[in-house]
Amino acid sequence: SIVVADFEAGIGTITRLANEKVDVVLVVCEPTPKSIEVGTRAADLAHEKNLGRVIVVASRVRNEDDLKVVQKAFPDFEVCPVPDDPSIVTADRQGVSPLDLPQPGPAVTALVQLAERLSPAAA
């Protein structure tokens, strides 16, 4: 079975995990100093506790410089970029899932590709 959990921002959940093992820890951060600070603490702690494979999801990446900032902050982790995408805001304003828009935006495409890479069938 597959379980995806979206926990509160910060490292609280990771600090409370004892010896639990998961397949993948996705650390989501934006290319901002505060987000990267919290994200690096979370990724390092998940790695230190040997919880499972750690992938950093660089969210709201606007350009190559944004991606480089995140990659530089996480040199020892796989970084998956998700572009900044106005269609996410459009879907939210319409009260629908971004997946339900007639034309999926680049963020949806990136997230679907990440999900496909993580699915057991891809393993």
Return d(Cα 90, Cα 57) in angstroms, integer: 22
Cβ 58 vs Cβ 29: under 8 Å? yes
- What distance in Å separates the CA atoms of residue 83 and residue 17, rounded to the nearest whole number? 31
**Span 16-52, pLDDT tens digits:** 666 677 888 889 999 999 999 999 999 999 899 888 8
What is the DSSP code (8-state) at residue 84? Answer: -
Which pTM value belongs to this model? 0.85
